[in-house]
Amino acid sequence: MGLTVSIYPTFFGGGRYHKGMTREDRSEWVRHRARQLGFARCGIAPAGPVRAAERFEAWLAAGLAGSMSYLHRYIEQRRDPRRLLDGARSVVMCSLSYFQRRPASGRGADGPRGRIARYAWGADYHQLVKDKLWTLLDGMNRQFPEPFEARVFVDTAPLLEKALAAEAGIGWIGKNTLLLDEQVGSFTVLGAIVTTLALEPDPPALDECGTCTRCLQACPTGALRLDRPYQLDARRCISYLSIEHRGAIDESLRPRMGRWLFGCDICQDVCPFNRRAAETTEAGFAPQPPAPRPDARAVLEWTAVDCRRATRGRALDRATRSMLRRNAAVVLGNVGTRADAAALRRAAADGDALVADHARWAMERIETRAAREQTMRTRRTLHYRCQQCGHSNPVGLVPAEYDPRTFVCEHCGNEQWVELPDLLTADGKRFISHRPIEED
């Protein structure tokens, strides 16, 4: 929850006593000071009923929040921020960019690399944003003479931050349900100051998504869909599955998670408004190991001490060690090789049933993929030997359902009927049902 402070007239530290400041003057000062502190955008919404609350409650009622039961609590406070602070008149909403360019993926020295969502690359954003908001609030205390109270919130209170940010004019809620700004993009985190101070509100932002559907088309799990823009099915969202969901991940969704070990940026990566976004200047967001490309095999074998060392003071701490190891097993199942089998066998025998289940699934996936890749390699080297001159003629890739056909020998020109048993691998073995077999 937020922290409550009572603010009274102060005259220390270079404070000013501006009796003649209007609400507009105060609002402009707040916005200007927020930009000085490094916030990408700052806007002001009136403290009152949140217009998007009804839509939020319908989303909850439809069961689209999955197992996030905490969202069903404190509904009255979510409907109206005045429930969080008696006499509240204004909500100051600030956004802080965490955007950084994407480094290359692939295999590290010891195993395949997973991916971590950008917001979790560095230090915990909660503290970064909160520190800036307290500095802003301290400046408001010094600048404005009348007594007022305020509470600071950063993503931990029953406050509809994105809806209030849209009402404050610092962005609109896009079709991917994230806050979007034409200049800043969507790679931002939000913070709020709910205050009894009277400030002039900003006009709400206008939706600029237009006919674009890139985010809806790019979602690999169907959490976002073309037939329901502006609505997220959290139960299928990679971020929810890897961070919020405590249990087993549906087997049908595991392959679609790809390399994502913690969170997901896909619907943001494809958004046109993020192409022009400037990189963050906030040093706290600089990548710290294991971000941005964790070694999935190493994460799978983390001890409790390893996990604490890697996640303490980070957004990564939101997921438990068991969940992170579960996620690592999914990554290995999707991109790992037989070189990862030993680590997966150890995990499959682990006392943590959640990890063991996903490790066994990953082992099966790797073996299936390895067999398929071997078949593909074999299929690319298939040939047949001409019955007339004995020349070896390359056939190339054979479809899954092979139909007998005529071929012309490239050496002697003899036309002959070739059936599946006539095909040979590069080492002269017969090829039956896409599997090389020994001659009788």
- Whether residue 111 sits in one domain with residue 18: yes
Q: Could you tell me which of 106, 84, 90 has the C-alpha nearest to residue 26?
A: 90
Of the two residues 381 and 293, the one the predictor is more confident about is 293
**Hey, what amino acid is at 432?**
I
Q: Domain of 351: which CATH number?
A: 1.25.10
96/132 Cα distance (integer angstroms): 10
Bigger pLDDT: 90 vs 411: 90
Average pLDDT of the residues in 10-16: 33
Q: How confident is the model at residue 19 (pLDDT cuts 50, 70, 90)?
A: low
Task: Convert the pLDDT of each residue in 97-137 to its tens digit.
Answer: 999 987 655 555 556 899 999 999 999 999 999 999 999 99
Confidence bin at 5 (pLDDT 50/70/90): very low
Q: Give 175 or 392, the one with higher predicted confidence.
A: 175
Does one domain contain both 179 and 285?
yes
Q: Which of 159, 152, 129, 141 is nearest to 39 (CA)?
A: 129
**Boundary residue ending a domain (294, 319, 336):** 294
- The residue out of 294, 315, 341 marking a domain boundary is 294
Q: Does one domain contain both 42 and 163?
A: yes
- C-alpha count within 13 angstroms, C-beta hemisphere, residue 341: 11
Q: In this predicted structure, which of 128-137, 267-276, 378-387 has the lowest mean pLDDT?
A: 378-387
Q: How confident is the model at residue 438 (pLDDT cuts 50, 70, 90)?
A: very low
Question: 3-state SS of 188-232?
Answer: EEEEEEEECCCCCCCCCCCCCCCCCCHHHHHCCCCCCCCCCCCCC
pLDDT at 2 over 50: no
Confidence of residue 434 (pLDDT cuts 50, 70, 90): low
Comparing 361 with 102, the larger pLDDT belongs to 361
Domain count, the chain: 3
Same domain, 15 and 88: yes
Same domain, 357 and 394: no
More confident residue, 421 or 312: 312
- pLDDT by residue (tens digit) across 252-271? 999 999 999 999 999 999 99
Same domain, 370 and 264: no
277 and 307 fall within a common domain: no
Residue 427 has phi, psi (to 5 degrees) of -95, 15
Q: Which residues of 51-87 are buried (b: 16+ CB within 10 A; e: fewer)?
A: ebbeebeebbeeebbbeeeebeeeeebbbebbbbbee
Instruction: Look at residue 201 in the predicted model and tell me its pLDDT.
Output: 98
Torsion of CA 253, 254, 258, 259, to 10 degrees: 140
- Distance between first and last Cα of the chain: 75
Mean pLDDT of the region 89-101: 97
- Active-site residue 155, yes or no? yes
Does 292 sit behind a cis peptide bond, omega within 30 degrees of 0 on the bond before it? yes
Q: In whole angstroms, what is the distance from residue 414 CA to residue 70 CA? A: 75
Higher pLDDT, 341 or 402: 341
Sequence-ordered list of residues with C-beta below 8 angstroms from that of 11, at least 6 positions apart, any chain: 17
Query: Model confidence at 11, in pLDDT bands (50, 70, 90)?
Result: very low
Tens digits of residue pLDDT in 208-233: 999 999 999 999 999 999 999 999 99
Does a cis peptide bond (omega within 30 degrees of 0) precede residue 290? yes
Residue tagged active-site, from 131, 155, 317, 350: 155
Q: What is the pLDDT of residues 291-323, one digit of tens each?
A: 999 999 999 999 999 999 999 999 999 999 999
Give residue 364's domain range: 303-378
Burial state string for 161-197 with b = 16 or more CB within 10 A and e = fewer than 16: bbbbbbbbbbbbbbbbbbbbbeebbbbbbbbbbbbbb
- The mean of the pLDDT values for the chain is 88
Contacts 24+ apart (CB under 8 A), 433-438: 434/375, 434/378, 434/379, 434/398, 434/400, 435/375, 436/378
Place 395 in a pLDDT band, splitting at 50, 70 and 90: confident
Residue range 176-191, pLDDT digits in tens: 999 999 999 999 999 9
Distance (Å, rounded) from C-alpha 340 to C-alpha 329?
Answer: 10
Q: What pTM value is reported for the model?
A: 0.82
DSSP letter for 131, please.
Answer: H
Q: Mind giving me the DSSP string for 52-121?
A: THHHHHHHHHTTTTTT-GGGGS-HHHHH-GGGTSTT--EEEEEEEE---PPPP-SB-SSSBB-EE-GGGS
Residues 6+ apart with CB under 8 A from 437: 429, 430, 431
3 band by pLDDT with thresholds 50, 70 and 90:
very low
Q: Is the per-residue pLDDT at 368 higher than 70?
A: yes
287 and 347 fall within a common domain: no
pLDDT in tens, 38-72: 999 999 999 999 999 999 999 999 999 999 999 99
16: helix, coil or strand?
Answer: coil
Same domain, 13 and 51: yes
Please, which residues have CB within 8 angstroms of residue 276's CB and are 6 or more apart in sequence?
A: 183, 185
- Mean pLDDT on 423-439: 60
Residue by residue, DSSP assigns 389-419 as T--EEE--PPPSSPPPEEEE-TTT--EEEE-
What sign for the dihedral angle of Cα 319, 322, 323, 328? Answer: positive
Residue 250 in tokens = 């549906």
Q: Which of 359, 378, 397 is the last residue of a domain?
A: 378
Confidence class for position 380, pLDDT limits 50, 70, 90: low
Q: What is the mean pLDDT of residues 14-30?
A: 76
- Are 139 and 103 found together in one domain? yes
Distance CA(358)–CA(141), nearest Å, equals 53
More confidently predicted of 396 and 186: 186
Residue with tokens 């004995």: 390
Verify that 168 and 128 share a domain, yes or no: yes
Residues 287 and 328 in one domain: no
Q: 166-170, 335-339, 369-373: which has the minimum mean pLDDT? A: 369-373
